[in-house]
Structure 1
Amino acid sequence: MNIVLHGINLQKEFLPYIEQLIGILSSHGIRTFFTENFTKSIKKLQVPARSFEILGPEMGMGEMDFVLSVGGDGTLLDTVIQVGRQQTPIVGINTGRMGFLATVAKENIQNAIRNLVEGEFALESRSLVTLEASRPVFNGMNFGLNEFTIHKRDTSSMIILHTYIDGQYLNSYWADGLIVATPTGSTGYSLSCGGPLITPGARNFVITPVSPHNLNVRPIVVPDESVISFKIEGRSEKFLISLDSRSTAIDASVELKLKKADFSARLVKFLGYNYFDTLRQKLNWGFDMRN
Structure 2
Amino acid sequence: MANTMRIGTHGRSLARASIPSVARIHALMRIEGLVPVVDSSLAAQMAMAGVPVEPGTEVVDNPALAGIDLFFSLGGDGTILDTVAKTGQSGIPVLGINLGRLGFLSSTREEGALAAIQAVKEGRYTIQERSLIALQGTDLANGETLIGLNEMSVHKRDTSSMLVVDAWVNDRFLSTFWSDGLIVATPTGSTAYSLSCGGPILDPSCDAMVITPISPHNLNVRPIVVPGASILRLHAEAREDKYLVNIDSRGFIVGRSLDLHVRKAAHRARFVQLEGTGFFNTLREKLGWGMDVRSAKMSER
List per-residue Cα deviations over 1:254-273 (Å, max 9, x = no partner): 32100000011101011001
Measured after TM superposition, the shift of residue 192 of structure 1 is 0.5
Alpha-carbon distance change, 93 to 208 in structure 1, aligned in 2, over 3 angstroms:
same
* 1:157 counterpart residue number: 161
List per-residue Cα deviations over 1:43-87 (Å, max 9, x = no partner): 122224212222248x75262111110000110011111111112
The answer to whether residue 68 in structure 2 is matched with residue 61 in structure 1 is no
Aligned CA-pair RMSD: 1.8
CA contact (8 A) 1:62 1:86 kept: no
Tell me the number of residue pairs that the alignment of Structure 1 and Structure 2 aligns: 290
* 1:148 counterpart residue number: 152
Alpha-carbon distance change, 203 to 171 in structure 1, aligned in 2, over 3 angstroms:
same
* 1:6 counterpart residue number: 10
List per-residue Cα deviations over 1:147-171 (Å, max 9, x = no partner): 0000012452111000000111100
List per-residue Cα deviations over 1:83-140 (Å, max 9, x = no partner): 1111211110001111211121110111110110110101110100011221341894
Which moved further from structure 2: 195-204 or 41-50? 41-50
Distance in 2 (CA, whole Å) between partners of 1:69 and 1:111 is 16
Measured after TM superposition, the shift of residue 40 of structure 1 is 1.7
Alpha-carbon distance change, 116 to 131 in structure 1, aligned in 2, over 3 angstroms:
same
SS at match of 1:112: helix
List per-residue Cα deviations over 1:270-289 (Å, max 9, x = no partner): 10012112101211122233
CA contact (8 A) 1:155 1:236 kept: no
* 2:217 counterpart residue number: 213
Alpha-carbon distance change, 140 to 38 in structure 1, aligned in 2, over 3 angstroms:
farther
TM-score by length of 1: 0.94
2:57 alignment partner, one of 52, 55, 58: 52
Amino acid at match of 2:220: N
Alpha-carbon distance change, 93 to 207 in structure 1, aligned in 2, over 3 angstroms:
same
Which moved further from structure 2: 198-207 or 139-148? 139-148
* 1:42 counterpart residue number: 46
CA contact (8 A) 1:183 1:202 kept: yes
Long gaps (5+) in structure 2: none
CA contact (8 A) 1:128 1:265 kept: yes
Distance in 2 (CA, whole Å) between partners of 1:139 and 1:5 is 31
Distance in 2 (CA, whole Å) between partners of 1:276 and 1:144 is 23
List per-residue Cα deviations over 1:193-251 (Å, max 9, x = no partner): 00000000000000000000010000000001001111112211222000011100112
Alpha-carbon distance change, 254 to 232 in structure 1, aligned in 2, over 3 angstroms:
closer
TM-score by length of 2: 0.91
CA contact (8 A) 1:154 1:236 kept: no
1:76 alignment partner, one of 54, 76, 80: 80
Long gaps (5+) in structure 1: none
Alpha-carbon distance change, 195 to 138 in structure 1, aligned in 2, over 3 angstroms:
farther
Distance in 1 (CA, whole Å) between partners of 2:18 and 2:243 is 38
* 2:186 counterpart residue number: 182
2:266 alignment partner, one of 262, 268, 280: 262
CA contact (8 A) 2:64 2:86 kept: no
